[in-house]
Structure 1
């Protein structure tokens, strides 16, 4: 008979690390946006980059951060469920 489950402490640690990664991405996104906004850069390349940054890049980073946050919450929930099941 196989035993299914997870090491609760490791799973909680994974959940915490995933959520911390999400926060770090959000922090970096904000910091980079502020740096870009404060950079004196003119011309078509600047306009194109700023448009791409605020359009697709920020949206992509937000999606990644949200996915990590959700994965972290799921891992933490699974750890809690595993802990309850093993009592």
Structure 2
């Protein structure tokens, strides 16, 4: 007979680490956007880079942050479910 389950404390720790990773990406994205905005850089290369940063790069970082947030929530839910199942 196989036993299914998880270590609740490890799942909670995973959820916390995933949440922290999401926050770190958001913080870095914000900081880099501010630094870029304050950088004296003119010309077509600067315009191209800023457009790419504010378009595709910020969007990609936002998607990664959201995915980590969702994974964090799932790990936390799974830990809660495991605690409920174990207490029965």
TM class by shorter chain equals over 0.9
TM-score (norm 1): 0.99
Secondary structure of the corresponding residue to residue 41 of structure 1: coil
Instruction: Identify the residue that residue 81 of structure 2 maps to in structure 1.
Output: 81
**Matched residues, number:** 87
CA–CA distance in structure 1, aligned partners of residues 20 and 69 of structure 2: 8
Aligned to 1:24: 24
- Structure-to-structure mapping, 1:2-81, within 5 angstroms: 2-81=2-81
Deviation beyond 3 Å, 4+ runs, structure 1: none
What is the rounded CA distance, in whole Å, between the counterparts of 1:61 and 1:34 in structure 2?
A: 15
Structure 1 unaligned residues grouped into runs of 5+? none
- State TM-score, norm by structure 2: 0.98
